């Protein structure tokens, strides 16, 4: 496979339409598939899910329901979930909410913490009369690795603990390949990235007019004095406010995360428009933003104790440099500046306040790219930065994939033992 084909495959696998936070959506997807195998609505659902799934599903709004958490997502998966819709299956909530609430009140759901599994692991066992089905999603949000109806195994490609086995984790491309693809590929091949903008802008507009989460975007936009930076950040945060608050609107996710998709998209497009950049410049910067985030995420892992806004805002900083006429070397500068600034931002679950982390990441992206355009970069002796950009990125990945594992345990312990 050529590098261009590898990159196009990565884009196809990682930029996906999703309605609602992808962790509870993936659980609903698993439940929907189990229901379909049964051929009828389950009377009981047993779930075994990894701690990262639990963490990201506890406090997030489920679109179109006004409710939070897994139970309502699971019941929607039962009453109206269609697995062929992938991560967009919860767009059925509006028409089936009362039915889902009724199923939830009359049936049993058992949720268990699955241990010694991949960080992204969802196992659903559905029971109806004397029949049962079993479905497992692992590694990525739509990756069905096990299907069973009664005693008949239909599919089994399950391999546990793949994250721990891939210790080398060397992607077949590097940051220069990413830069070259975004800047040199025929523009007609890249135009599709604008599709992400139109969809996410609708969610941003919903966040600016509605009352979602902390209303961070709405509040920032209402300030009497708004700079280009503040307007860009406000519109981005508004999309996260709406998505985390349960707005019934879709976004394009990046690396399995809607917030990462929002972050990679809105700032680049809005800054490009505010500064009168051409459509081609914006398209290439959008591609660089998304693709650099995906590339870096390969080292960190799909789910991690390291907040996904870290890699997403690094993608944004790269795109901002390109929009301002920067070189590959200056893109490397901004990546190093970012790595030495926001590495260590924890993921303590998907929730309305995620927009605050987006604001932090984007402010850092603007600062880092401004420095990079002046050829200012952190010293190679500073922290985890090294002279070689790839080694610097790998160092970030090691921290996110391995160094913060114990923090994940502690975060979940804190989240599940609150007094409220």
The two most distant CA atoms of the chain are separated, in Å, by 69
Would residue 392 count as lying in a domain?
A: yes
Query: What digits encode the pLDDT tens for the residues 212-251?
Result: 999 999 999 998 778 999 999 999 999 999 999 999 999 9
Structural domain ending residue among the three candidates 113, 146, 164? 164
Mark whether 152 and 57 lie in a shared domain: yes
**Residue among 115, 137, 112, 139 at smallest CA distance from 45:** 112
Query: Domain residues for 43?
Result: 18-164
Domain annotation covers residue 8: no
* Shared domain check, 146 and 212: no
Residue 145 included in any domain:
yes
Q: Judge whether 378 lies within some domain.
A: yes
Let me know whether 196 and 114 are in one domain.
no
Same domain, 141 and 198: no
pLDDT of residue 412: 86
The string of DSSP letters for 15-76 reads EEEEES-HHHHHHHHHHHHHHHHHTS--SEEEEEE-HHHHHHHSSPEETTTTEESHHHHHHH
Identify the burial level of 22 via C-beta atoms within 10 angstroms of its C-beta, where 0-12 means exposed, 13-18 middle and 19 or more buried: buried
CA 156 → CA 122, 150, 310, distances in Å?
14, 14, 34
CB proximity list for 53: less than 8 A, separation 6 or greater: 23, 26, 27, 120, 121, 122, 303
Give bridge partners of residue 339 from the DSSP assignment: none
Within this chain, do residues 340 and 329 fall inside the same structural domain, yes or no? yes
Q: List phi, psi (to 5°) of 152.
A: -95, 115
Indicate if the pLDDT at residue 196 is higher than 90: yes
Q: Are residues 210 and 69 in the same domain?
A: no
- Whether residues 238 and 357 fall in one domain: yes
Is residue 125 situated within a structural domain? Answer: yes
**pLDDT reading at 260 higher than 80:** yes
pLDDT in tens, 242-253: 999 999 999 999
- CATH code of the domain covering residue 113: 3.30.1330
Sign of CA dihedral 26, 27, 32, 33: positive
Rounded average pLDDT over 23-38: 97
- Asked if 102 and 222 sit in the same domain, the reply is no
Q: Output the domain CATH number for residue 198.
A: 1.10.4100.10
Query: Does residue 327 carry a pLDDT above 50?
Result: yes
Q: Nearest-CA neighbor of 280 among 199, 186, 365?
A: 186
Residue that the structure tokens 């994940």 belong to: 408
Total domain count for the chain? 2
- Picking from 145, 164, 183, the residue at the C-terminal end of a domain is 164
Residue 6, domain member (yes or no): no
Residue 362 φ/ψ region, left for φ over 0, alpha for ψ in the -120 to 50 degree band, beta for the rest: alpha
- Whether residue 259 is found in the same domain as residue 343: yes
Residues 179 and 308 in one domain: yes
Residue 26 forms part of a structural domain: yes
User: Looking at residue 408, what is its pLDDT?
Assistant: 85
> Which tens digits make up the pLDDT trace of 113-139?
999 999 999 999 999 999 999 999 999
Residue 354 has pLDDT above 50, yes or no: yes
374 within some domain? yes
CA atoms of 247 and 6, how far apart (whole Å): 34
Residue 282, pLDDT > 90, answer: yes
Mean pLDDT of the chain: 94
Last-in-domain residue among 113, 142, 164: 164
Query: Quick one: 195 and 158 in the same domain?
Result: no
Residues 110 and 253 both lie in one domain:
no
Query: How many residues make up the chain in this entry?
Result: 420
318 has pLDDT over 50: yes
Better pLDDT: 164 or 17? 17
45: β partners:
109, 126
Q: What is the pLDDT of residue 163?
A: 54
């Amino acid at each position: 496979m050529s590098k261009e084909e590898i990159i196009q495959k990565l884009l196809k696998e990682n930029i996906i339409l999703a309605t609602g936070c992808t962790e509870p959506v993936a659980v609903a997807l698993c439940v929907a598939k189990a229901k379909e195998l049964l051929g009828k609505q389950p009377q009981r659902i047993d779930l075994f899910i990894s701690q990262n799934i639990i963490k990201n599903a506890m406090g997030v709004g489920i679109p179109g329901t006004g409710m939070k958490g897994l139970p309502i997502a699971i019941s929607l998966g039962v009453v109206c979930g269609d697995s062929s819709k992938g991560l967009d299956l919860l767009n059925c909530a509006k028409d089936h909410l009362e039915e889902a609430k009724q199923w939830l009140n009359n049936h049993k759901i058992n949720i268990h913490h699955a241990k010694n599994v991949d960080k992204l692991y969802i196992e659903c066992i559905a029971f109806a009369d004397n029949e049962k089905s079993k479905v497992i999603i692992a590694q990525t949000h739509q990756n069905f690795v096990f299907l069973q109806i009664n005693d008949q195994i239909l599919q089994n490609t399950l391999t546990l603990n793949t994250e721990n086995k891939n210790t080398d984790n060397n992607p077949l491309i590097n940051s220069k390949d990413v830069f070259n693809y975004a800047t040199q590929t025929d523009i007609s091949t890249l135009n599709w990235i604008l599709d992400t903008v139109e969809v996410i802008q609708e969610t941003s507009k919903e966040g600016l007019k509605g009352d979602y989460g902390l209303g961070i975007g709405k509040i920032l936009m209402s300030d009497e004095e708004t700079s280009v930076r503040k307007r860009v950040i406000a519109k981005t945060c508004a999309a996260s406010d709406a998505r985390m608050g349960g707005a019934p609107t879709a976004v394009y996710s990046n690396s399995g995360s809607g917030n990462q998709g929002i972050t990679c998209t809105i700032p680049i497009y809005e800054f490009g428009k505010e500064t009168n950049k051409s459509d081609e410049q914006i398209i290439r910067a959008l591609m660089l933003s998304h693709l650099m985030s995906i590339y870096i995420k390969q080292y960190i892992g799909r789910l991690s104790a390291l907040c996904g806004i870290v890699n997403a805002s690094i993608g944004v900083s790269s795109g901002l440099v390109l929009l301002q006429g920067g070189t590959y070397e200056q893109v490397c500068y901004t990546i190093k500046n970012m790595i030495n600034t926001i590495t260590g931002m924890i993921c303590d679950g998907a929730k309305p306040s995620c927009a605050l982390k987006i604001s932090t990441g984007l402010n850092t992206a603007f600062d880092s790219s401004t420095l990079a355009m002046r050829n200012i970069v952190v010293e190679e002796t500073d922290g985890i930065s090294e002279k070689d950009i790839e080694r610097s990125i790998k160092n970030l990945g090691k921290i996110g994939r391995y160094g913060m594992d114990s923090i994940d345990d502690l975060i979940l312990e804190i989240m599940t033992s609150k007094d409220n």
